[in-house]
Chain A
Amino acid sequence: MEVPFPYEGIDKGRPACKQTPITSPDMDNMRLYDTLDNRARGGQRPGQDKKFAQQISGSANPILAICSVVVMD
């Protein structure tokens, strides 16, 4: 008996006895494509990493809005 990775993600809406093998009743921090080799086999999600070293506002305040602006040289 082979149990596949639930590539159709989480499903909490069906009768318990009708849970399909390609869905999961409970999962967290998993994605279909793994981060190891980007294969569609199931794996831990990518981590969040800083992209800019600076802390906006210099203290722990939520970043309320982000956009970009293009300026002609």
Chain B
Amino acid sequence: MAIVYENYVTGDDNWARIVTSSWYGQSFRPVTSHTVTYLRLKIGKDGTPPADMTVELYLADGAGKPTGSRLAFGTVTDGDISAGTGGEWHSIALDTGVALTAGSDYVFYCKTTSGGAGQAFVLRYDQSGATYTVGDWTWTTTSGSSWTVSSGADAVFSEWGTGAASTPVDKTYTKMLVAIAGNEFWYESSAGTMTRFTAVGPDDLDAAVPLTMVEAFQKVFVANGSNLWVADFSNVKIATTDLNTHAPDPGTILTGGSSGAVMVVEYITSTTADAACTIYGKRTTDATFTSGETVTGKDGVNNDGNDITFAISANEVAGPFWYVWTVFGQDATFGTMPPYATIVSLYRGRVTLAGNKYEPHMWYQFRVSDPFDLQTESTDAKAAVAGNDARLGKIGDVVTATVPIDRDNWLIGSTGEMWLFTGDGAEGANLDRISKTTGMFGTYAHCIDDEGNVYFWGTNGLYTFSLPGGTPRCISRIRLPNIVKDGVGGTAVTQSSHRIVMAHDSRRKGILVFITTLADGTNANYFYDLTTKAFFPESYPDECGVFSAFYYDATDPDYRVLILGGNDGYLRFFDDSAVDDDAGDSGDTAINSYVALGPIALSQDPGKEGTFTGLDFVSAGGASGGSQSDSSDVGYSVFAAPSAEEVIEKLSANTGPNFAGTFTAPGRRHGSRRAQKISAVSFGVRLFNSTAAETWGFEKLFGDILPSGRFK
């Protein structure tokens, strides 16, 4: 079945008479290689043509003029066309299909052997302001001896044919990563490449004010205090200097009078009659809106209300767009935006806001599927809702985070409490306090694992709970009782000086807690292994201090990873093949990895000492160069002391070991055992590697102990 390829089908405002020596046509350039089988032209008649008209196809030279031998032709007879110069669309089958090459230029023209005024076919064309960009109106008055190309005019035409056998396409969307740093908004303009969104002005965002963003409805909504913005990747834009009497409503269908283009309105900048307005909507036709044409529609819920008619002042513009996030048309009919918000999320198809410093206990939920309607006085089931987290009669706590857990549960964290919002706000939702002893540290201090368990940083450290019915419990309390006090480098964690970001690493089955100092990126972090419910501390170069994290479910599997937003503006990930940290402009930085083993009692009798006689270690890798990946060398330090706690002190201080050295890797080597006699009550071993471009794995550590005398 033939499909259309190159075409230019609107805007014809004139006609040309095809006579003996005057022939007219159009050059064109296919985007896709295919076989053309017929052309469709808008043809009329000035009187009665005395002879048939042929439409001939040629290659075009660099100037767009016919060259070489005729490739194909078709014939139009008098009886094919109705009278009148207004023209009608007519298909001209070619005598043979012609293989057209993408990027090459071709030209067709209409010719005849006789005729004149009142006795001719006419070809319709767009004489002024034509916009077909890869071809031109081409004509001769010398029966083809010489040709003229008019770059400002184009015939209205379409060429049809068949291409190569189609490959099934299942993916009909593009997914892009978006990131904000400094005062700039960047997005993944092509796979693997981030580009600055230049529409964002230098003062549109303020990095000194808390900022969050969320994806919804093919857009990104940004909440940055008084800077509330929309990055619109889905709509097209048309503009008018005069809306006339009635403005479009959300969902209004607008039609271009000349172009036939159709759009569904989503957002407009003003509803004021007779005022200028910019309209954003989803175009549903291939035809595009053209400058000067009259656009019509009807307002109302079912497009059955008042007539809408206005002229647009410029051709349609394609996105992406960046515009201030207001209610529809900035019209109070659609509610009132909070003047300030820093927390945005998406719950049950509603964009939500919180973090209004003037009403810090409030939260807002927009109309379902309409992020431009915050009218809370509507009474339908999809209407916008607003509220606060408080017992009846109370003011409520300051909201610090909102977390959509699933389609029925929305967690509201505040400074000292946790609330669970269940159901839909316009249809009997519940708001229950699930903790009065802990709040949530901040906007990014939470995550959810793949079983739906919620993790967040609260008053005493890391908490978790599960739904339904669960209440938060602190899981760091036993193993890390001073996790808050220890903070970063001994500085206790506070909202004013630290950012806490949490993320679930689904591939490695763990929860990451990143604690980063706002001023300089110094950090203390934890990997909470979900397999063993264990905490593993981590530290990164200051440049790699994490300020944001996001699991990017990219269409390209190479990019389907947990993305870390670094202190220095780079997007990173944990790479199993990376044995150092890429600290950006500071270069690769060695990972200082160590583990303290012990304290280990040298005697089962706490009143007696034992004698440690030797230590041996097996690192990962088997034989060097074998099938198993090889560990690098591993350093060791052994500390002995009269008490367990003194061993811990020595392990932590890492100075003055009883003996130390390096185990050669990989695997186990002849002579690897380190013989050394130490009599003590308790001992510990520190294994480590801090060498650049190295990594290591632990296979086995064992030692020899003999009984000794009583501790004196």
Q: Give chain A's interface residues, CB within 8 Å of chain B.
A: 1-13, 15-17, 19, 21, 23-73
Which of B6-14, B24-32, B475-483 interfaces with chain A? B475-483
Inter-subunit contact B172/A51 (CB<8 Å): no
Which residue from chain A places its CB closest to the CB of B701 in the assembled complex? A3
Shortest Cβ distance from A28 into chain B, in angstroms?
Answer: 5
Inter-subunit contact B534/A9 (CB<8 Å): yes
The 8 Å CB contact of B621, one of A7, A19, A36, is: A36
The 10 closest A-B pairs by CB, nearest first: A63-B565, A9-B534, A47-B578, A57-B182, A36-B629, A42-B698, A16-B645, A43-B697, A61-B182, A34-B697
Task: Give every chain A residue within 8 A of B527 (Cβ-Cβ).
Answer: 31, 45
Q: Which residues of B166-181 have CB atoms within 8 Å of chain A's CB atoms? A: 172-181
**What would be 8 A-B contacts, judged by CB atoms less than 8 Å apart?**
A16-B645, A29-B591, A35-B577, A55-B570, A56-B179, A62-B207, A66-B177, A66-B571
The reply to whether the CB of B630 lies closer than 8 angstroms to some CB of chain A is: yes
Task: Give every chain A residue within 8 A of B550 (Cβ-Cβ).
Answer: 66-68
Shortest Cβ distance from B4 into chain A, in angstroms?
Answer: 19
Task: Give every chain B residue within 8 A of A10 (Cβ-Cβ).
Answer: 479-480, 534-537
Task: Give every chain A residue within 8 A of B563 (Cβ-Cβ).
Answer: 51, 66
Inter-subunit contact A6/B595 (CB<8 Å): yes
Which of B209-217, B301-309, B422-430 interfaces with chain A? B209-217
Inter-subunit contact B181/A62 (CB<8 Å): yes
Inter-subunit contact A21/B570 (CB<8 Å): no
Question: How far, in whole Å, are A65 and B480 apart by their CA atoms in the complex?
Answer: 29
Task: Give every chain B residue within 8 A of A54 (Cβ-Cβ).
Answer: 186, 193-195
By secondary structure, the B interface counts as strand
The 8 Å CB contact of B591, one of A16, A45, A66, A73, is: A45
Inter-subunit contact B537/A36 (CB<8 Å): no
Question: How far, in whole Å, are A29 and B179 apart by their CA atoms in the complex?
Answer: 27
Inter-subunit contact B648/A70 (CB<8 Å): no
Inter-subunit contact A50/B181 (CB<8 Å): no
A-contact bits for B557-598, CB 8 A (1 contact / 0 none): 001010111111111111111111110110000011111111
The interface on chain B, measured as residues whose beta carbon lies within 8 A of the other chain's beta carbons, has a size of: 130
Task: Give every chain A residue within 8 A of B570 (Cβ-Cβ).
Answer: 50, 52, 55-56, 63
The reply to whether the CB of B323 lies closer than 8 angstroms to some CB of chain A is: no
Question: How far, in whole Å, are A41 and B689 apart by their CA atoms in the complex?
Answer: 16
Shortest Cβ distance from B636 into chain A, in angstroms?
Answer: 11
Inter-subunit contact B532/A16 (CB<8 Å): no
Question: How far, in whole Å, are A40 and B699 apart by their CA atoms in the complex?
Answer: 10
The reply to whether the CB of B70 lies closer than 8 angstroms to some CB of chain A is: no
Task: Give every chain A residue within 8 A of B133 (Cβ-Cβ).
Answer: none
Inter-subunit contact A71/B174 (CB<8 Å): yes
Which residue from chain B places its CB closest to the CB of A45 in the assembled complex? B538
Question: How far, in whole Å, are A6 and B696 apart by their CA atoms in the complex?
Answer: 15
Shortest Cβ distance from A18 into chain B, in angstroms?
Answer: 8
Given A17-B644, A66-B571, the answer on whether A44 and B213 have CB atoms closer than 8 Å is no
The reply to whether the CB of B449 lies closer than 8 angstroms to some CB of chain A is: no
The reply to whether the CB of B156 lies closer than 8 angstroms to some CB of chain A is: no
Shortest Cβ distance from B541 into chain A, in angstroms?
Answer: 8
Given A19-B598, A42-B595, A50-B572, the answer on whether A33 and B508 have CB atoms closer than 8 Å is yes
Task: Give every chain A residue within 8 A of B598 (Cβ-Cβ).
Answer: 3, 19, 25
Task: Give every chain B residue within 8 A of A6 (Cβ-Cβ).
Answer: 595, 597
The reply to whether the CB of B358 lies closer than 8 angstroms to some CB of chain A is: no
The reply to whether the CB of B547 lies closer than 8 angstroms to some CB of chain A is: yes
Inter-subunit contact A48/B581 (CB<8 Å): yes
Which residue from chain A places its CB closest to the CB of B521 in the assembled complex? A62
Shortest Cβ distance from B334 into chain A, in angstroms?
Answer: 24
Shortest Cβ distance from A42 into chain B, in angstroms?
Answer: 4
Given A48-B581, A57-B186, the answer on whether A43 and B212 have CB atoms closer than 8 Å is no
Shortest Cβ distance from A24 into chain B, in angstroms?
Answer: 5
Which residue from chain A places its CB closest to the CB of B319 in the assembled complex? A71
The reply to whether the CB of B241 lies closer than 8 angstroms to some CB of chain A is: no
Inter-subunit contact A46/B578 (CB<8 Å): yes
Question: How far, in whole Å, are A65 and B569 apart by their CA atoms in the complex?
Answer: 11
Which residue from chain A places its CB closest to the CB of B510 in the assembled complex? A31
Q: Which residues of B585-635 have CB atoms within 8 Å of chain A's CB atoms? A: 585, 591-601, 606, 620-621, 628-631
Task: Give every chain A residue within 8 A of B214 (Cβ-Cβ).
Answer: 67
Q: Which residues of B343-395 have CB atoms within 8 Å of chain A's CB atoms? A: none
Inter-subunit contact A69/B178 (CB<8 Å): yes
Task: Give every chain B residue within 8 A of A17 (Cβ-Cβ).
Answer: 599, 601, 606, 643-645, 682
Which residue from chain B places its CB closest to the CB of A33 in the assembled complex? B508
Question: How far, in whole Å, are A42 and B685 apart by their CA atoms in the complex?
Answer: 15
Question: How far, in whole Å, are A57 and B584 apart by their CA atoms in the complex?
Answer: 14
Task: Give every chain B residue within 8 A of A46 (Cβ-Cβ).
Answer: 574-578
Given A3-B703, A51-B563, A73-B174, the answer on whether A30 and B621 have CB atoms closer than 8 Å is no
